[in-house]
Structure 1
């Protein structure tokens, strides 16, 4: 796997140097891979945490007022050394002592535990808080041997706020332990991650598989399952957490939706939506919710969910201000708010159907059928130089046209107007606005009743001009205009020369088809294809090809 690195042996130090450069409230210890608060720890209890790198923004991202005083980083997925932990304790700890928040992995417990013992020998009181929140291991090991995963972030917040409130060492540790023992976390991965220097993922998954109950070090999960919908995975994970933690109706909780590094915000939001719905359906009161990449496993695609029961005191710790750069904020939520959209203007009284309306209906339905039949071809053309959505967009537009009521086809102007509105609502991206604008302009130009051929030609030219005005394109820019413009001009000029309407339209179709073909040799100047430059040459513009398809469908 490709990575933006220099030397994998130096990646941790270079990462920490970058973080210290970016965050003025943080400083880097000279001889150890430790991030501390700039200006020292100050009076009071110090809160420290850490572990192997690869979990960013944890742990350094949580160093700041109201959270951690120091974060110690080992190599990727490797516990930091005892000496590094001890150096961090010396840097921020004082007579009031230090609380060390440790995820329940053997290496972390050994190195943090020994460093705490050495600190005590030097006169710095130290308490260890072990986080073992992974409920996926409920049928595998006893609770005290479970792994510590993303819920650790909430323990950082509770401990940091307690320390900032001036509590003594024992009370800070007690609040942190209580939070760690109360919470439950479980994750799912859709793929593995690749440790820098390893060159290959830690495991492989089929296209229809997921790892349920994995840890945060690239290891496999508790079980491999068939890939399910986001909603189904959330149901299973939260059902396990609720049962394991003994949560019951009326309990107050907070929710953490954590990305594992390779999951986009879109998917995390889908997960969060279902997670809150499941918790509320179970009768739980969701007081706060956070979502984001908060404790990751490099670039692993997947997520974890954490549920922490709260009372007023614990909620106050979570609500307390923090200057840590990675803390996602106060997490305050409300019920989903849906605001009614403003009503569209009334359409007025229905008009009796005229021949021109029936003609437009037959023509538009023929164009719709042609575009549906060309969906695969248009998708392939658009994928070569764009985002590949034109085929499905045209098919979606065709379906919207078929759904129009009979009253939409009263006469030609109304029909074009209603088709434009349907396409505006049905087609996203650029095609919807272009076609809607063109049809709305043409509808305004056409007279009511039975338009003459010359009036249709004028409406066609007005529609093409509207597309040009909206997008700023001109013929030769390698867009749909390279098919539209010659077709409209040839149709008008042929009619003006006395050519019969059907023959004039056939000339227009040939001009449009030739215009679409020539786009294959043009360097694009507008649209997504413009980003490709000369690499787009050889591929006809998909939008122009779509125009040629529906132009030909109107011959009859």
Structure 2
């Protein structure tokens, strides 16, 4: 077994993997059936009055192509082994037996030598038997330019799905085979795609080899079978990477990659941002936003349709591809434009766009820009403090939090979800920014603490953010209720003790539960007793240290079997903050 997590799989037998995955397809779409001997997934009920679209290729690109089998797109898909074309026998059996009845068969094939030869030979065999068959080869990849690709031409990648969707929708209207094939070729001719990846993938059941792609490198123009692309380069920023990819897709000045016809005016554009398999949906959202920003600001393109998700993978590839379709006149009349066919009804599991055309065309105000929030009103108080000391002490504590981020994150990666250090740092930086802005901190300590509570609420998420914000709001109330006019050590300590009581109304945590309270409670208690911030900080550190080996009774840590001598990250954060504040005190006392 490999020592690297990315090279481990739940199913390591590639044959078993492909066969079981095909069986699952018929469970998620009951209109489908499986021919296991030939690895064909097909519609149970095919119309004799429609052209049957068939596609396929090697396994490992799911949901392509099996996920697109269903009414409105493909009649059938035939699958090879991982990254290997299906055989002529499989494809011919699909054409002759599984795509029937039909008004002719259209094969949509990605431009790879094995696929073109096998699907081509199956086409000729079917024609020899009197069957009406056409084949369209899609080569949308610009990752390898004209000079290098030579006679082979461009590779077929994720843009192939757009060809299948549009042609499949036309076939569902009863169009003739020649019409459907001509439209598929028109779409392919106006389609460009490019991928990039941070790593090569590992095929289950194979030995782990050296891909040559090092940490900190990216493969630009990478294919969907682990093939090298146009270049390897040091990993750029996402902004830089998207700029390079779109430049390759759209620049008319690059004669090696200028595949779109500049003489044909565009009626709009469609963009597909495709997950190669290993990118989280969250990161895909960020990537899609970057692509759209570049298209708008650098190319003056506002796509009429945006598709973002997993359409054609390279197993668990840690990368993505961008496909751009230039919308041109189909010549087929009303209801049969490229856009209308993309929007047409289907019944498949993988084409997951559910946004109606009327919603896309809506002229509603852009909700990505929200009006500014009304300014929070903070009521004044009579309680005054010395601003310079307040800023110095609190800033010292916040700087300590920022310095300790790595340490706290390390602890939380072991016993939590790994975000405690970053969350504390985010809050600390936001409060520091507040403190450094002239006019924010006033001598009215109630008003200032209330404002800081709002800053924390807006900058820190998760449980820690909520607890800190509750404590600070309760602290502001305690200060207001003090009845004093000068905030000395007694006033601060009593207000902090009141804040602990306020916090107790929202969390059952007590010392011994292994939470931030293990450090916060002793800090407040010692502050009440000694009125000395440095003594209180020592108590906070002692409380945090006691959480080492302590059995958790609250929070995510209760689900972890082995904690060892790792302290609670939240308690460490309180101790670090308290120690930093204590260092900000020039002379003893608060």
TM-score (norm 2): 0.86
Alignment partners' CA distance in 2, 1:377 and 1:225: 32
1:466 paired residue among 502, 522, 547: 502
Structure 1 match to 2:343: 319
User: Is 1:370 aligned with 2:376?
Assistant: no
Alignment partners' CA distance in 2, 1:66 and 1:366: 64
Alignment partners' CA distance in 2, 1:549 and 1:216: 48
Alignment partner of 2:143: what SS? helix
Tell whether the 8 Å contact from 2:493 to 2:531 is kept in structure 1 after alignment. Answer: no
Post-superposition Cα deviations, 1:177-211, rounded to whole Å, max 9, x if no partner, equal 11112211111111101112113257231122111
Tell whether the 8 Å contact from 2:157 to 2:224 is kept in structure 1 after alignment. Answer: yes
Alignment partner of 2:161: what SS? helix
Alignment partners' CA distance in 2, 1:506 and 1:277: 50
Tell whether the 8 Å contact from 1:47 to 1:67 is kept in structure 2 after alignment. Answer: yes
* Aligned positions of 1:120-131 closer than 5 A: 120-131=127-138
Alignment partners' CA distance in 2, 1:322 and 1:202: 42
Post-superposition Cα deviations, 1:311-350, rounded to whole Å, max 9, x if no partner, equal 461111111111111003156657673122431333357x
Alignment partner of 2:196: what SS? strand
Tell whether the 8 Å contact from 1:251 to 1:309 is kept in structure 2 after alignment. Answer: yes
Alignment partners' CA distance in 2, 1:11 and 1:250: 43
Post-superposition Cα deviations, 1:192-242, rounded to whole Å, max 9, x if no partner, equal 011121132572311221111221111111221221122222222222222
Structure 1 match to 2:3: none
User: Is 1:93 aligned with 2:97?
Assistant: no
1:289 paired residue among 287, 306, 311: 306
* Aligned positions of 1:33-52 closer than 5 A: 33-52=39-58
Alignment partners' CA distance in 1, 2:231 and 2:51: 41
* Aligned positions of 1:477-492 closer than 5 A: 477-492=513-528
Q: 1:141 to 1:336 in 2, by over 3 A?
A: farther
The Cα of 1:149 is off from its aligned counterpart by 1.0
Alignment partners' CA distance in 2, 1:379 and 1:68: 48
Q: 1:274 to 1:380 in 2, by over 3 A?
A: closer
Structure 2 match to 1:497: none
Q: 1:279 to 1:365 in 2, by over 3 A?
A: closer
Alignment partners' CA distance in 1, 2:383 and 2:493: 22
Alignment partners' CA distance in 1, 2:210 and 2:161: 25
Alignment partners' CA distance in 1, 2:245 and 2:294: 10
Structure 2 match to 1:426: 459
Structure 2 match to 1:536: 563
1:275 paired residue among 285, 291, 297: 291
2:278 paired residue among 252, 262, 265: 262
1:215 paired residue among 217, 220, 223: 223
Tell whether the 8 Å contact from 2:266 to 2:327 is kept in structure 1 after alignment. Answer: no
Post-superposition Cα deviations, 1:233-270, rounded to whole Å, max 9, x if no partner, equal 22222222223114588652111111111122233223
Structure 2 match to 1:193: 201
The Cα of 1:400 is off from its aligned counterpart by 2.9
* Aligned positions of 1:82-231 closer than 5 A: 82-89=88-95, 90-94=97-101, 96-138=103-145, 139-142=147-150, 145-200=153-208, 203-231=211-239
* Aligned positions of 1:50-61 closer than 5 A: 50-61=56-67
Alignment partner of 1:49: what SS? strand
Alignment partners' CA distance in 2, 1:164 and 1:336: 36
Structure 2 match to 1:546: 573
Unaligned runs of 5+ in 2: 1-6, 253-257, 330-336
Post-superposition Cα deviations, 1:259-308, rounded to whole Å, max 9, x if no partner, equal 11112223322332232233333233521110111101101111111111
User: Is 1:8 aligned with 2:14?
Assistant: yes
Structure 1 match to 2:333: none
Q: 1:88 to 1:385 in 2, by over 3 A?
A: same
Alignment partner of 1:279: what SS? helix
Comparing 63-72 and 220-229, the one that deviates more: 220-229
Tell whether the 8 Å contact from 2:140 to 2:159 is kept in structure 1 after alignment. Answer: yes
* Aligned positions of 1:387-466 closer than 5 A: 387-402=417-432, 403-404=434-435, 405-446=438-479, 447=482, 448-451=484-487, 455-466=491-502
Alignment partner of 1:225: what SS? strand
Tell whether the 8 Å contact from 2:73 to 2:164 is kept in structure 1 after alignment. Answer: yes
Tell whether the 8 Å contact from 1:134 to 1:146 is kept in structure 2 after alignment. Answer: yes
Tell whether the 8 Å contact from 1:411 to 1:449 is kept in structure 2 after alignment. Answer: no
Alignment partners' CA distance in 2, 1:374 and 1:274: 32
Matched residue count: 546
The Cα of 1:50 is off from its aligned counterpart by 0.2
Alignment partners' CA distance in 2, 1:460 and 1:278: 50
Alignment partners' CA distance in 1, 2:188 and 2:440: 64
Tell whether the 8 Å contact from 1:524 to 1:536 is kept in structure 2 after alignment. Answer: no
1:524 paired residue among 543, 548, 552: 552
Comparing 301-310 and 413-422, the one that deviates more: 413-422
